[in-house]
Structure 1
Amino acid sequence: MRTMHRFLVILAGGLLLSSSPALAQQRPLPPSRKNVPLDSIRLSDPFILADQRTHTYYMTGTGGLLWQSKDLKRWDGPSQVAQPDPASWMGPTPMIWAAEIHPYKGKYYYFATFTNRALKIDADKGGTLERRATHVLVSDQAAGPYRPMKDETYLPANKSTLDGTFWVDKDGKPYLLYCHEWVQNQNGTVEKIALKPDLSGTVGTGQVLFRASDSPWSRENPRTGPVRPNKVTDGPWVFRTKTGRLGMLWTSWVYDVYTQGVAYSASGTLAGPWQQEPTPITPPNYGHGMLFRTFEGKDFLVLHSHQDIKGDYHRVPHLFEADLSGDKLVIGKPYTP
């Protein structure tokens, strides 16, 4: 979720963005509302689970709160669902970014980025960063509450990681995918690491799948030199087309424009190699997308719009029609529920 231009934090859908992250995380839970239109919800990094068990759509994202809907048109919420251990490295009031909910073997798993501003780790080129990492919580139901499992950490404590997501590869094994942040390594990556069978921790070490600089479309204008590839990797999401081709959504920037791209694996597995599409797949100023299928069998892309209004980043969830019937993902027209 973190980008070159994103140092603000959204506490929850429906809250205004704050220029003081420390203050934002102290705000109380906003009052619950009913029948809220999607375009009236302020939310970064939206994720929608179409839960077959309850026949309910659950939407979460940055802020870690949860919205519910029966029809995608009107939403009830938000509610608090994440209950990390306050005695862990996350501390009592961690920031929560880019939350996702994945059903797996009868349980629901909450993949999210947690930040403890009180703890510091080293940056590769000197200085310190807040401790930030992808972590996984679990619940017996989609609406939570989500609580920790066995392992206190999923990734090295000295590594700044974010935007974790989930995939079961062709080998039948579960994997955690995440970004290693550009603010630490100066060229953001998307990486994978094996998960334990019950997702309670990770096994082995992470492997780089691709780097931000691999993209032919992402661009950064350094102001004092030639144009160069952007550093940011953001929001990976893995999918398969109906022909069996493995793809990955991910987001970066074209100069000052937040931009959604896609890559495809030549091997059909997470190991790649990953081949970047030459151009973005959505209009400008949209990003951090994921795909879901409605109860009626239609595929949609949900992502947030990115608008800078006098220094305030205004982000709202949007739906686009998606076509997975061919060898490539094709994004259609915007959809208004």
Structure 2
Amino acid sequence: MRLPDMPLHDPFVVADDRTRTYHLYTSNDPSVSGVEGTGTMVYRSHDLLDWTRPVVVFRAAEQRGMWATDGGWAPEVHAWGGRYYLFTTLHDEDRPLPLPPPNPWGVPFQVPTYRRGTVTAVSDSLLGPFTVVDPSRPTPPEHLMTLDGTLHVDPSGQPWMVYAHEWLQTIDGTIEAVPLAADLTRTVGDPVFLFKASDAAWISEQIPGGVPNQLPPYVTDGPQLYRTPDGSLLMLWSTYEKDVAGDDGTISGRYVQTWAVSRSGDLTGPWQQHRPLVRDDSGHGMLFHTFDGRLMMILHRPFDNARGKLYEMRLDGHELRVLRQRTDLDGGG
């Protein structure tokens, strides 16, 4: 298989040095895996061009006492303490959360919120099977509607789950972090606010004044962190770039891949927001190194019926740049 033929959303690559194999994780798609149900599947490749048919490494319905079996979004796999840990987001629309308090912007935006969050599962193999460490609840606080948890380990060795706090609950979506136990099985502190979507001032710069009550929500999606050689901390994240369409003032959004940098190198920032790396309905990217040392970014495009797109990247100090899309690998588009 090749990337143009591979359905995938929220791609995450693990380059396994031992086997010289790239593992590309995404939500289970029964049309290609042949396995029904919410879960995670993985494609494998030695060259980023030709990929095996996917195998399923996690199924929510197989977890005894599982609090939710829908979603299966944004799977990531991280090596830690000699084992492999899967983070993936589940939800249960039949378990509502209390309505949030009135927002400070006076925006009349009341939508149902329900239990959603990232779970942690563990395996001794990159190919699973992965078993949830706590089937009774998500890893972040369960009263928060969250998604897209990722692992970050700070310079002291403290592991964190960094996640997006849903715009459905906040209007202005945030990126937050919660400290984890040394074995990643539970939280050991309260969430820490990192930044909010509207901190990226370019999001709304095309919207004229006088329409604040028509503004759609500010979305945070898909955080992923990367330590630069100069000690800065980069974060890839995705959102919607807002625009005005038509004479009625209707505001639309386009999914984009953007980034931020903490020059201090600290997870708490301060975070400086940068303009998007890739537009064109693209996002939920992550960075990885090829076996020959190239820095690559993989993301999905378009948002619906998504396929994986690969970009060769360059770091100049803490400045991240796109060198070129690897159309030889992803088929272009």
Scaled to the shorter chain, the TM-score interval is 0.7 to 0.9
Aligned equivalent of 2:112: 128
CA contact (8 A) 1:50 1:294 kept: yes
How big is the shift at 1:120?
Answer: 2.0
Q: 3-state DSSP class of the match of 2:203? A: coil
Q: What pairs up with 1:73-222 in 2 under 5 angstroms?
A: 73-84=49-60, 85-90=63-68, 93-124=69-100, 128-150=112-134, 152-153=136-137, 154-219=139-204
2:34 corresponds to 1:37: no
How far, CA to CA, are the matches of 2:6 and 2:27 in structure 1? Answer: 12
How big is the shift at 1:186?
Answer: 1.0
How big is the shift at 1:188?
Answer: 0.5
One-letter amino acid of the structure 1 residue matched with residue 289 of structure 2 = R
How many residue pairs were aligned? 294
Q: What pairs up with 1:1-337 in 2 under 5 angstroms?
A: 36-63=1-28, 64-84=40-60, 85-90=63-68, 93-124=69-100, 128-150=112-134, 152-153=136-137, 154-219=139-204, 225=211, 231-255=218-242, 256-277=253-274, 279-306=275-302, 313-335=304-326, 336-337=328-329
Q: 3-state DSSP class of the match of 2:157? A: coil
CA contact (8 A) 1:212 1:230 kept: no
One-letter amino acid of the structure 2 residue matched with residue 110 of structure 1 = L
CA contact (8 A) 2:65 2:135 kept: no
**Deviations 1:72-112, CA, capped at 9 Å, x for gaps:** 1111122211144241212xx33200001111121111011
Query: Which has the higher Rg, Structure 1 or Structure 2?
Result: 2
How big is the shift at 1:62?
Answer: 3.2
One-letter amino acid of the structure 2 residue matched with residue 177 of structure 1 = V
One-letter amino acid of the structure 2 residue matched with residue 79 of structure 1 = V
How big is the shift at 1:247?
Answer: 0.8
Please give the TM-score of this superposition, normalised by the length of structure 1: 0.81
**Deviations 1:134-162, CA, capped at 9 Å, x for gaps:** 11100101111110125743222221110
Distance change (3 Å), C-alpha of 1:257 and 1:121: same
One-letter amino acid of the structure 2 residue matched with residue 53 of structure 1 = R
How far, CA to CA, are the matches of 1:242 and 1:45 in structure 2? Answer: 26
Q: Which is helix-richer, 1 or 2?
A: 2
Please give the TM-score of this superposition, normalised by the length of structure 2: 0.82
Q: 3-state DSSP class of the match of 1:213? A: helix
One-letter amino acid of the structure 2 residue matched with residue 294 of structure 1 = T
Identity over aligned pairs, percent: 37
One-letter amino acid of the structure 2 residue matched with residue 257 of structure 1 = R
Unaligned runs of 5+ in 1: 1-35, 308-312
How far, CA to CA, are the matches of 2:263 and 2:316 in structure 1? Answer: 18
CA contact (8 A) 1:306 1:316 kept: yes
How big is the shift at 1:58?
Answer: 0.8
CA contact (8 A) 2:234 2:318 kept: no
Over the residues paired in the alignment, what is the CA RMSD in angstroms?
Answer: 2.2
Q: Which moved more, 1:313-322 or 1:115-124?
A: 115-124
Q: 3-state DSSP class of the match of 1:217? A: helix
**Deviations 1:287-333, CA, capped at 9 Å, x for gaps:** 111000111111100001126xxxxx231110000112533111111
Distance change (3 Å), C-alpha of 1:79 and 1:118: farther
CA contact (8 A) 2:255 2:279 kept: no
CA contact (8 A) 1:111 1:165 kept: yes
CA contact (8 A) 2:160 2:178 kept: yes
Distance change (3 Å), C-alpha of 1:46 and 1:266: same
One-letter amino acid of the structure 1 residue matched with residue 271 of structure 2 = W
How far, CA to CA, are the matches of 1:78 and 1:224 in structure 2? Answer: 50
How far, CA to CA, are the matches of 1:79 and 1:184 in structure 2? Answer: 35
Unaligned runs of 5+ in 2: 29-39, 102-109, 243-252
| Runs of 4+ with deviation above 6 angstroms | none
Distance change (3 Å), C-alpha of 1:59 and 1:300: same
